[in-house]
């Protein structure tokens, strides 16, 4: 996945150089990181690959963008360096925006020529309310090529329910109140640690009755993955064997101009956590990165 991610950033960098005829002018790929930074190594591997390929790189914090970022003739500069690609590893949570200056800086980036990874539009697509729309057949059909493709995509979604202040929203809220062990309440947040579960979810839904803020959440049917015995390696120590569950996803690279330039699945990502944990964020220390072992079944079944 690392090689493909750096390849996606390099593609965006080359597109910027071609479009703006940079020639010998030095432009950089900038990685926006937290302070202090603890998730360092995968970022540095990507930067090493870019530097080896002749792409200059720069790391800086959101505060640095606020202090020294500026737009000149539509192009974005940080510390007097023109930025071709800005790769966000932070600024995805409201807590990352410490003052109105941070929101102003984010707006300047998005409306300049710099390629933002992800763009605001891609961040919005990742929000729960938009994901709920994508799980609706009538909406999804606008973006698929055939009824068969629509069915294939719909099978990937878990049931989600709106919590608007109307009869449908009231019915959906009652589902969570009556069956708190079968649903989870999700806000429009990323990064782990924000979902609301079990009795706490029931109490939250009761408190939101008649409150317009309820529509900011969605109710999702809980996923019940298989439980496997496993061990964790954390900070150099191997844990005792325990019951674990895993979440399986994919890294992909998507790059567009007026057309799609690159759209590629580049490898799996598995996060494994204790079966007793509800949340599963790696960054918050609740889960670990895992590795899959793919085995070709000699006797295919309906669930394989």
Higher pLDDT, 129 or 5: 129
Query: Helix, strand, coil % (nearest 5) of the chain?
Result: 35, 25, 40
Nearest to 209 by CA among 174, 162, 175: 174
Q: E-assigned strands of 165-298?
A: 183-186, 196-197, 218-221, 228-230, 233-234, 237-238, 242-256, 260-274, 287-290
Taking only the tens place, the pLDDT of each residue in 170-229 is 999 999 999 999 999 999 887 667 899 999 999 999 999 999 999 999 999 998 889 999
Q: Are 60 and 80 in contact (CB under 8 A)?
A: no
Higher pLDDT, 8 or 178: 178
Taking only the tens place, the pLDDT of each residue in 216-270 is 999 999 988 899 999 998 888 899 999 999 988 888 898 988 899 999 888 888 8
């Amino acid at each position: 996945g690392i090689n493909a991610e750096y390849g996606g950033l390099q593609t965006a960098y080359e597109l910027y150089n071609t479009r703006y005829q940079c020639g010998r002018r030095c432009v950089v790929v900038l990685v926006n990181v937290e302070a202090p930074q603890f998730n360092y190594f995968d970022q540095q591997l990507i930067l090493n690959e870019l530097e080896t390929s002749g792409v200059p790189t720069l790391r800086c914090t959101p505060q640095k963008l606020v202090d020294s970022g500026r737009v000149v003739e539509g192009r974005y500069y940080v510390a007097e360096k023109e930025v071709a690609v800005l790769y966000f590893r932070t600024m995805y949570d409201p807590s990352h925006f410490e003052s109105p200056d941070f929101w102003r800086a984010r707006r300047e980036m998005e409306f300049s020529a710099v390629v933002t990874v992800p763009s605001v539009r891609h961040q919005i697509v990742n929000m729960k309310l938009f994901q709920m729309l994508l799980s609706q057949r009538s909406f999804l059909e606008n973006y698929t090529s055939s009824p068969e493709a629509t069915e294939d995509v719909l099978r990937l979604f878990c049931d989600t329910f709106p919590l608007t202040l109307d009869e449908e929203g009231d019915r959906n809220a009652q589902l969570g109140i009556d069956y708190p062990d079968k649903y989870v309440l999700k806000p429009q947040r990323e990064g782990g640690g924000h979902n609301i579960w079990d009795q706490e979810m029931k109490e939250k839904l009761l408190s939101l009755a008649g409150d317009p803020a309820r529509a900011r959440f969605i109710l999702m049917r809980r996923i019940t993955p298989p439980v496997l015995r496993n061990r964790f390696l954390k900070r150099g120590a191997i844990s005792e064997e325990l019951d674990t569950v895993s979440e399986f996803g994919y890294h992909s690279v998507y790059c567009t101009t007026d057309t799609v330039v690159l759209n590629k699945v580049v490898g799996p990502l598995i996060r494994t956590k204790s079966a007793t944990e509800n949340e599963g964020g790696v960054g918050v220390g609740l889960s670990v990165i895992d590795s899959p072992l793919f085995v070709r079944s000699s006797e295919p079944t309906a669930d394989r």
